[in-house]
Amino acid sequence: MADPKQAQTPQRSGLSSNTVDYGDRDFALFLRRAFIKGAGYTDEDLGRPIVGIVNTGSDFNPCHGNVPALIEAAKRGISQAGALPMVFPTISLHESFAAPTSLYLRNLMSMDTEEMIRAQPMDAVLLIGGCDKTLPAQVMGALSAGRPFVVLPTGPMLSSQWAGERVGACTDCRRLWADYRAGRLHQTQIQEANNRLVPSVGTCSVMGTASTMACVLEAMGLTVAGAASAPAVSADRVRLATASGAAAAALASGRVSMPTIGQSQFDNALATLLAVGGSTNGLVHLAAMMGRIGLDLQPKAFNAMADKTPVLVDLKPGGQGYMPDFHEAGGMPRLMLELGGHLDLTVPTVTGETLEQRLDQLSALGRIEHHAQMVIRSAQQPIYPAGGLRFLFGNLAPHGAVIKPVAASPALLTHQGRAVVFEGLEDMAARLDDPALDVGPQDVLVLRGIGPLAAGMPEAGLIPIPKKLAAQGVRDMVRLSDGRMSGTAAGTIVLHISPEARVGGPLALVRNGDLIRLDVEAGRIELLVDEAVLTSRASEALHERLPSVGRPRGYGWLHAQQVLQAPQGCDFRFLRASSAD
Ligand code: FES
């Protein structure tokens, strides 16, 4: 990698690289060979370039339930290409099994990935991940480690049927739960739905964070062709694993050079995020990845890109279909063809050719289907002509906030209402459904104390509609927070308000009954309270009473010392490129 901001690529020397420090390098290698031969390897095996395979299989992570099969297929590809596969474990994170939040632990996974790549002798690495935080953590770690890498997503789960309708995790999880809260479903029905929402292993079947990140990484050229969308339990997914292994072996042997990753790849990533109607979380993760190579995500440039990038993919949560439909429609290769001038197709890929050459090859082989379908639209007939995601600014979010206009209610995109404020998740849980709560459909629900430092930025920004309003048929309200929301969720939700309340952001100054104005077209979120009143409230330092996430020791201590705000991707200060190495 020639970019001076990226860490240096270590010398490619297979087993003899990264020897342990005993003060005698030859002895260290002698010892290493002796130990590894205990596993039955020969000198011929050990003379090959080495591809490390990151194993994130875990019984606690059903999104990675196919990892053992993918590893076997990848090993086949690596061996056939003349390299030696070596599997090693790292942390695995599943959204429902990583308390307090998976984002809180993402940086730990990235550190684990980086250090294990650095510590062990491998010439290239195959990153197998999928569930929301895993691919970002792996790429952040690999970028910092400076070792050639290929990304292999685990792939989306299948969709399912319940009560005569198609369902899938987890947009429908949230929709059906909202129906249950509003009394539209009874206990037996919600229990039966629970059995049907996740019909197989794999990542969520909508364009949530996992699918968004897989698509984005394919548009950056960091996967083999088609890797973003093949279902986790398909034959295509197994073949992709074999091809990914072979690609990593070519990098390990030096037959293919690892592309230098820079602004062009990230511009492709951001354009793809917009075109797929992707998750707001994508902005957090891309900002963190960019920070690892000395780049910053520029909100104004992103908004300008959003103004001209069409939304072409019709999947839930914003649209209709599920990820298997996207795959059958042609997946990322077809989308990249449709997006054309919105992408830089001259960027090189991990398989050696540029994106443009890859698309030409696939077309020549007849592997980009051009059949009629409605999931991937043309740029001439987009689902939305522009504006998939947008940064907002104003006195309530001086460093920015994010909204997904295409998942919001059009009537609420310009709205003014009274603030109804909740101090963290416990307070919200205690009062939201209280029949005495003073709240109406035009009010603005404000949840603070769920930012990166306060709470590890949980996906709690989709504040439930208060039960008494839900029972009246209210399905959406303007909701604000310094937290995130699941990529599978929808609504008029302003997220990632920065700085968060816990560090003294203006969100800490809002009082019940204050007027808040949202104007998405103007890109503004404003607290309509006199400056002098806000200055007086600031002197009360309410934010200091909000908690910090995690224990005051170990990783929790490190998190509290180092975590940055959403515009820096919630990475740790010392992990960004400017403080690396
Ligand atoms: Fe793993 Fe949705 S919970 S991708």
**DSSP states of 49-87 as a string?**
-EEEEEE---TT-GGGTTHHHHHHHHHHHHHHTT-EEEE
Does residue 14 fall inside a structural domain?
Answer: no
Does residue 43 fall inside a structural domain?
Answer: no
Does residue 437 fall inside a structural domain?
Answer: yes
Does residue 80 fall inside a structural domain?
Answer: yes
User: pTM score, two decimals?
Assistant: 0.95
Low-confidence stretches of the chain (pLDDT beneath 50): 1-12, 580-581
Three-class secondary structure of residue 562 per DSSP: helix
Q: Within this chain, do residues 97 and 229 fall inside the same structural domain, yes or no?
A: yes
Task: Check pocket membership of 51 for ligand 1, CB cut-off 6 A.
Answer: no
Nearest atom in ligand 1 to 486's CA: 2
The closest alpha carbon to 478, from 517, 523, 527, belongs to 517
Beta-carbon contacts of residue 551 (< 8 Å; ≥ 6 apart): 557
Q: Which of 106, 203, 279 to mutate to test the pocket of ligand 1 (most atoms within 8 A of CB)?
A: 203
Task: Check pocket membership of 131 for ligand 1, CB cut-off 6 A.
Answer: yes
Q: Model confidence over 495-508: pLDDT tens digits?
A: 999 999 999 999 99
Does residue 508 fall inside a structural domain?
Answer: yes
125 vs 574: CA distance, rounded Å:
24
Q: Which residues pair with 527 in a beta bridge?
A: 516
Task: Check pocket membership of 204 for ligand 1, CB cut-off 6 A.
Answer: yes
Q: Within this chain, do residues 154 and 169 fall inside the same structural domain, yes or no?
A: no
Task: Check pocket membership of 459 for ligand 1, CB cut-off 6 A.
Answer: no
Q: Within this chain, do residues 178 and 238 fall inside the same structural domain, yes or no?
A: no
Confidence (pLDDT) at 8: 41
Ligand 1 atom 2, closest CA: 204
Three-class secondary structure of residue 456 per DSSP: coil
Q: What is the torsion angle, in degrees rounded to the nearest 10, for the CA atoms of residue 223, residue 227, residue 232 and residue 238?
A: -80
For β-strands 397-403 and 414-423, DSSP reports them as: unpaired
CB atoms within 10 A of CB 438: 10
Q: Which of 204, 213, 229, 322 to mutate to test the pocket of ligand 1 (most atoms within 8 A of CB)?
A: 204
Total domains, the chain: 3
> Which structural domain range is residue 276 located in?
48-158+201-364
**Vertex 573: Cα angle to 568 and 578 (nearest 5):** 90
Only one residue has tokens 């797929």, namely 276
DSSP H or E segment with residue 525: strand 524-527
Task: Check pocket membership of 203 for ligand 1, CB cut-off 6 A.
Answer: yes
Confidence (pLDDT) at 369: 67
- What's the 3-state SS for 253-284? HCCCCCCCCCHHHHHHHHHHHHHCCCCCHHHH
Q: Within this chain, do residues 350 and 441 fall inside the same structural domain, yes or no?
A: no
Q: Within this chain, do residues 189 and 62 fall inside the same structural domain, yes or no?
A: no
448 vs 507: CA distance, rounded Å:
7
Does residue 153 fall inside a structural domain?
Answer: yes
Q: Within this chain, do residues 297 and 419 fall inside the same structural domain, yes or no?
A: no
Ligand 1 atom 3, closest CA: 95
Task: Check pocket membership of 103 for ligand 1, CB cut-off 6 A.
Answer: no
116 vs 114: CA distance, rounded Å:
6
Task: Check pocket membership of 132 for ligand 1, CB cut-off 6 A.
Answer: yes
Three-class secondary structure of residue 309 per DSSP: coil
Confidence (pLDDT) at 305: 97
Does residue 411 fall inside a structural domain?
Answer: yes
CB 448 within 8 A of CB 510: yes
Q: Within this chain, do residues 485 and 349 fall inside the same structural domain, yes or no?
A: no
